[in-house]
Amino acid sequence: MADGTTELSSVDLTFGKLLARNASRYGSTIAMREKERGIWKETTWAEYTESVLACAAGLEKLGVGPGKAVLVLGDNRARLYGGMLAVALLGGYAMPAYPGATLEELQHFLGEVDIVAALAEDQEQVDKILDLRDAGASGIQHIIYDEERGLGLYEAEGLMSWNDLVETGTRRLDEDPRRREELLNRTSPRDPAVFLHSSGTTGKPKGIVLSQKNLLAAVRNGHAGGVFRVNEEVLAYLPMAWVGDYAITVAAALMLRFTVSVPERQETVVRDMREIAPTFYLAAPRSWDQMLTTIQVGMEDSTWLKKKLYHFFMDRAIAAETRKLNGESGGLLEPLGRLLGEVIIFGPIKDQFGMSRLRNAFTGGEAIGEDTFVFYRALGIKLRQFYGQTENSAINSIQSPSEVRLHTVGKPVPGVEVKIAESGEILLRSESVFEGYFNRPEATAEALVDGWLHTGDAGYLEDDGHLVVLGRVSEVMHTADGERYVPNYIENRLKFSPYIKDAAVIGAGRHELTAMVCTDFEAVGHWAEVHGVPYVSYSDLSQRDEVAVLLRDAFQRVNKALPEPLRLKRFVSLPKEFDPDDGEITRTRKLRRKVVEERYADVIAALYDGSKEIHFSAQVTYETGETGKVDRILPIREV
C-alpha cells in the first residue's frame, strides 16, 4: 500500500474515478508540465482535474456525448490531452489524428462516426478542419483551438478558443455544484477511452475503439511486468494518434500518477528532454538510431583527447555488454573500468541527452539494430524491447532487465496469454484486447475468435517462454523455388544500417531476392561531408558510387545471417524517400507494399532482366503540399 497501487486492482476503475482520486489525495503534486516561450509551466492534479471538468462541461453544451466524436489535430499539447480526457468523461469518442494527415485521410474518418467538434492545436490545423468543412464535413460545427496566434480575424462559424470553452464550462459547473461529481462518475469501465485507427498497410485504416477497461488493464499488466513504476517522469513527444502515446501519457499517467512534460515544439524535444531528464522513455528504433548518430558525430567533431577517451571506454563497455548478452562473464577489473567510464564518458553523455535518470527505457514497433541496442546498454541505459498492438492497448510482452536477448521481445506480461496457431500466427488473450473494429463485423470476426485476438503477426515461443516476432503473417512469401521468407524481417535488418532509412525487399515468385532502398539523408550527408564527397541534393547523393559502397556493406552484413537461397543479389538506391504523402508508407512508417510494387514496377523489372541501369521518373509531394518531379538514371548494383 506504500506506493498507493493496491486499489488499482479494482476492475471498476474509470478515468473519472482516477481523476477524483488524484485530485483529492495528491492534488498538490504535479500532473503536467508544458514549455511555453522557454518557461516550464506546471499544473497540479487538482488544477488539471478542474481544467478537464470545465472542458467536459463546455463540450457537453456543444453536443458532445455518447455516440459523438471529437477530432483532435495537432502536435502534443497539454490542452489537447486534457480535451481527450474530457471527451472520455462524457462517454464520447476522442479521435486523435496524425498532425500531418492529409485531407483525404481525414475524410475517411468522417464516414465512420458523427464528428460534432474538433480540437485543433493552431492556425494550420484550424485551416485543415475548415477545408474539411468545405469538402462536405458540415457536421463539425465547433472548432476549439489552443494557440490563438493568427486566428484573431477568423470569422468562421463555431470557432472558439480553449479559454472560451473552459469559461463556458466553468459557468456550468458553478451553476450546479453536483455536476462535477456527476461527470467524474458518469462513465463505466466499458465506455470509450479513445478512438484510434489501424495503420492501414493493406487498405483503409480500421477504427479501433479502446475502452477505459482495456487501457487500464494494459497499464495494470505493464506495471506488474515492470514496464511502469508509480510517479514516473515522462516526456510527451510521441504522436497523439499512436496507441503507445495514449497508453502512457493519459492512461498510465492517470493510474500511476505520472508527471507528463510536454515539449515546446517537436524541434526542441532533445533540448527539453535534457532539462526534464525523464525516468521513463519509449522510442522507435529510428529515434534511438538518430540519437546514436548524433552522439557519434559529436565525438568525431571533438578534440583528440576526448575522442581517445571516448573510444577507450566505449569500446571496452560494448565488448563487455556483448559478452554479457552471449552469456559470458567478464574480467575482474571490468567493474572498475565501468565506474571510471561512468564518471569520465558515460555519465556526461547521458546528461547531455537527458538520460541521466532513466529507469525504464524501451524500444518497439520494429526490430532494433544490434549495434544500436548494445551501444545504449554499454552506455548504462538498460534498453529493453517490447511488443504491442493498437488492438490490445499497446502492451503484450516485455524483456525483463535480467533476460535481454537481441532476437526476442521478452515474455508476455502478467495478464496477457499468448499462444501460436498452427499457421504460425501469434494469438493473444487479455482484458486489454479491444471488442472489435468499429462498424466492421466481418473484420472483427476474423480478428477475434473464441476470445483470442489474431494479431496478424507470425512468430514463435521459445522453450523458456520468450516470444519471437518474425513479421506479418500476410507478408510470409515464397520464392519460385518454394523458399519461405518474411520481407519485413529482412527489411528491418537492412535498416539496422544508419545509412538506410527504408527498404523494400522483392522476390515473391522469383528465383532471387533483391531490394530497393532509401538512404538516410542526414547520416549519409554527414558521412559525405566528412569524406569530401560532393553532392547537391538527395537524389544526387543517393546515386554516388561512394554511397553505394556503404549500402553494399549493409547488404553483405545482412546476407551473412540469411540462408543461401534467401541472400539478396541486387539492389537499387531510390532518388527519393518513401513518403506517407505519396501513399508509399503509413504515418508510422510502415511500408504499403502493394503501392510500392505498383509504383516502382519498372525499377523492379530492371532488377531481374539483366539491366545495368533504369530511367526513373516520379512525382513527389513537398512539405508545402506542392508537387514536383524526380528524373534520374538509377544504376542496378550487385551485392
Q: Is the dihedral of CA 283, 287, 289, 291 positive or negative?
A: negative
DSSP structure string for 487-524: HHHHHHHHTTSTTEEEEEEE-TTSSSEEEEEEE-HHHH
Looking at residue 591, the DSSP 8-state letter turns out to be B
Position 202 scores a pLDDT of: 59
Give backbone dihedrals phi and psi of 88, rounded to 5 degrees, phi first. -65, -40
Q: All domains of the chain, ordered by start, with CATH? A: 6-279 (3.40.50.12780), 283-356+358-387 (no CATH), 476-638 (3.30.300.30)
Express each pLDDT in 116-133 by its tens digit.
999 999 999 999 999 998
DSSP 430-458: -TTS-S-BTT-HHHHHHHEETTEEEEEEE
What is the value of pTM for the model shown?
0.81
What residue type is assigned to position 115 of the chain? I
Residue 2 has pLDDT above 60, yes or no: no
Task: Round the average pLDDT of the chain to a whole number and report it.
Answer: 91
Query: For residue 611, what pLDDT is reported?
Result: 94
Per-residue confidence (pLDDT) for residue 134, from 0 to 100: 87
Q: How many residues does the chain have?
A: 639
Tens of pLDDT, residue by residue over 246-290, are 999 999 999 999 999 999 988 899 899 999 999 999 998 888 988
Cβ-in-10-Å burial (0-12, 13-18, 19+) of 581 comes to middle
Q: β-strands 513-519, 477-478: how paired? A: unpaired
Q: Using one digit for the tens of pLDDT, what is the confidence trace for 557-574?
A: 899 878 899 999 999 999
Distance CA 236, CA 77 (A): 9
Question: What mean pLDDT comes out for the span 34-50?
Answer: 95
How many angstroms separate the CA atoms of 485 and 568, rounded? 12
- Mind listing the pLDDT tens digit for each residue in 305-361? 999 999 999 999 999 988 888 778 766 777 888 899 999 999 999 999 999 999 999
The pLDDT of 174-181, averaged and rounded, is 93
8 A C-beta contact, residue 618 and residue 606? no
Residue (of 179, 195, 130, 77) closest to 435 by Cα position: 195
pLDDT at 6 over 70: no
E strand or H helix at 124, and its extent?
helix 123-134
Q: Is the dihedral of CA 582, 586, 591, 592 positive or negative?
A: negative
| pLDDT value at residue 152 | 86
Instruction: Tell me what pLDDT residue 1 has.
Output: 39
For residues 294-306, one letter each, b for 16 or more C-beta atoms within 10 angstroms of the residue's C-beta and e for the rest, the string is ebbeebeeeeeee
Residue 449 CB burial class (10 angstroms; 0-12, 13-18, ≥19):
exposed
- Predicted confidence at residue 624, as pLDDT, reads 62
Task: Decide: 393 and 432 in contact? Cβ < 8 Å.
Answer: yes
Confirm if 56 and 90 have CB atoms less than 8 A apart.
yes
Q: Does residue 382 sit in helix, strand or coil? A: coil
Alpha-carbon distances of 32 from 18, 26, 47, 120, 174, rounded to whole Å:
15, 13, 10, 19, 24
Can you spell out the DSSP letters for 255-270?
HHT-EEEE-S-GGGHH
**pLDDT of 135 above 90:** no
pLDDT for residue 7? 63
pLDDT > 80? residue 425: yes
pLDDT digits (tens, 9 = 90+) for 94-116: 999 999 888 888 888 887 899 99
pLDDT confidence tier of residue 54, bands split at 50, 70 and 90: very high
Distance (Å, whole) CA 469 – CA 425: 10
Greatest mean pLDDT range, 10-14, 368-372, 464-468, 545-549: 545-549
**Taking Cα atoms as reference points, which of 72, 5, 2 lies closest to residue 254?**
5
pLDDT value, residue 411 = 94
pLDDT at 139: 84
In this structure, are residues 207 and 192 in contact, taking their beta carbons and an 8 Å threshold?
Answer: no
First to last CA, the chain: 60
**Residue closest to 3 by CA, chosen among 20, 25, 28:** 25
Write down the pLDDT at residue 49: 98
Comparison of pLDDT for 620 and 442, the residue scoring more:
442
Residue 575 pLDDT: 94
* Cell of residue 168, nine digits: 463556458
In tens, the pLDDT along 182-236 reads 999 999 999 999 999 987 655 678 999 999 999 999 999 999 999 999 999 999 9
Percent of the chain with pLDDT over 70: 96
